[in-house]
Amino acid sequence: MSKRTLTTESGAPVADNQNSSTAGVGGPLLLQDQHLLEKLARFNRERIPERVVHARGSGAYGYFEVTDDVTGFTSANFLGEVGKRTETFIRFSTVADSLGGADAVRDPRGFALKFYTEEGNYDLVGNNTPVFFIKDPIKFPDFIHSQKRDPFTGKQEPDNVWDFWAHAPEATHQVTWLMGDRGIPASYRHMNGYGSHTYQWTNAQGEAFFVKYHFKTNQGVRSLSAEQAAELVGQDANSHQTDLLQAIERGVNPSWTLYVQVMPGAEAADYRFNPFDLTKVWPHADYPLQRVGRLVLDRNPENVFAEVEQAAFSPNNFVPGIGPSPDKMLQGRLFAYADAHRYRLGVNHTLLPVNAPKATEAVNYGRDGAMALRNGSRHDKNYEPNSYQGPAETGQPLSAPLAIHGYTGTHEAPLHTKDDDFFQAGELYRLMSEDEKGRLVANIAGGLSQVTRDDVIEKNLAHFHAADAEYGKRVEEAVRALRED
């Protein structure tokens, strides 16, 4: 079979792709060599700004299949019938490190899922932990700055990491998760995923429910010790990418079972702690897991840049029957995620194939901007309302309205009867086996003992003491032993 002709960006055939044009044999290059200039100019522009967080990631396509009837809780079409399948794309990621970072590190993992539904794309942006370090988005930039590379040293500094946590007692629960056995998943296939935030479901009758998503891995949870992870990073810094890619290529398609916890909307106000606090879980005894369906990954992207690096997820991409809750972190992310993609990819990033709807069509009055691929015909207007049969609103809200009251201002989160920054961290510690506790303590002490300020160490130790007396005592003794060496 004959090869196709190599061309320039404008479609002209390329005569020589091995040698640049020169002024005579061995002479200087010529500015008129359009092919050379075009290649170098494009090469200089191949990269786009990496994500500030979740920069290092892997992705795959698959489908979500409904296995249980949840129509009593939500009118979302893609969840409306047992057996219904919806195409999906998922992006796994680490959080703090850069695009060139290693996979097998101690860090939360992103679990971002896009459902290509018939009512538009629904994005569920979660993690592999059910909680997070903070509960107000105004602290998010400071938190991330403390975890990423120091402006002077150019590397992650224990002083910065633990200094922030010393001033964020609500982080104790997530720190206990992160420093425990599940802090370094063995692979993306062997970890759970969580919506983490609280979301709202609304049924066909307009009844509102608050929900939390739990994707339980059907491969079983497997994690790495700090020593195993260090060895694996030395062997293959792309270990999780390698594992996911090769598993799907072999036809070993990973899957997760989706469960939800469902809280009737009326119960939220009087629940014993704030149900919209991202640093807390809902006990299963109060709100048991209810099965919804299964997620299966069965196809690798053809091009990592086009389909993984350019994949854009935003938690404000809802569909009818699903909406936000008063979770303050979620509310902040409704703006921040979409804005990040407009910065990185441009205002028309939703037209890229990986981000565009697949089961329906986006019809609106958006026009122009860089890389505008869908500007309409001469007959289409770019304003609304109009007299030319342009698309019109439905008048039907996607979810039930949220009641609000009080005065505007900068308020602390409302306190419920048993709100506490440490109780659930202590419960998590007490659920661990003796071996798990030992590894948790060693992981915390290994980082905290490197902090140079005694007051920062003491503030962090106080958090662990408040969570559980034994927990605090063991961390304190381990830190002291390491600092005396």
Q: How confident is the model at residue 73 (pLDDT cuts 50, 70, 90)?
A: very high
Q: How confident is the model at residue 418 (pLDDT cuts 50, 70, 90)?
A: confident
| For residues 310-321, average pLDDT | 96
Q: What percent of the chain has pLDDT over 90?
A: 86
Instruction: Give per-residue pLDDT as tens, 160-169.
Output: 999 999 999 9
54 is catalytic: yes
Q: How confident is the model at residue 2 (pLDDT cuts 50, 70, 90)?
A: confident
Among the ranges given (76-90, 249-263, 272-286, 408-422), the one the predictor scored with the smallest mean pLDDT: 408-422
Q: Which residues make Cβ contacts (< 8 Å) with residue 458, sequence separation at least 6?
A: none
User: pLDDT at residue 91 above 80?
Assistant: yes
Q: How far apart are CA 197 and CA 212, in angstroms?
A: 7
| For residues 462-469, average pLDDT | 98
| For residues 231-250, average pLDDT | 97
Q: How far apart are CA 481 and CA 485, in angstroms?
A: 7
| For residues 453-464, average pLDDT | 98
User: pLDDT at residue 414 above 80?
Assistant: no
Q: Which of 35, 77, 121, 127 is catalytic?
A: 127
Q: How confident is the model at residue 229 (pLDDT cuts 50, 70, 90)?
A: very high
- For 235-275, strand residue ranges (E) read 255-264
> What pLDDT is recorded for position 80?
97
> What pLDDT is recorded for position 400?
86
Structure tokens belonging to residue 351: 């037209």
Q: How far apart are CA 56 and CA 53, in angstroms?
A: 8
Q: Containing H/E element for 477?
A: helix 469-484
| For residues 244-271, average pLDDT | 97
Q: Which of 35, 54, 240, 463 is catalytic?
A: 54
Cis peptide bond upstream of 264, omega within 30:
no
Instruction: Give per-residue pLDDT as tens, 356-383.
Output: 999 999 988 888 888 888 888 888 888 8
> What pLDDT is recorded for position 187?
98
465 is catalytic: no
Instruction: Give per-residue pLDDT as tens, 26-65.
Output: 999 999 999 999 999 999 999 999 999 999 999 999 999 9
Q: Which residues make Cβ contacts (< 8 Å) with residue 427, sequence separation at least 6?
A: none
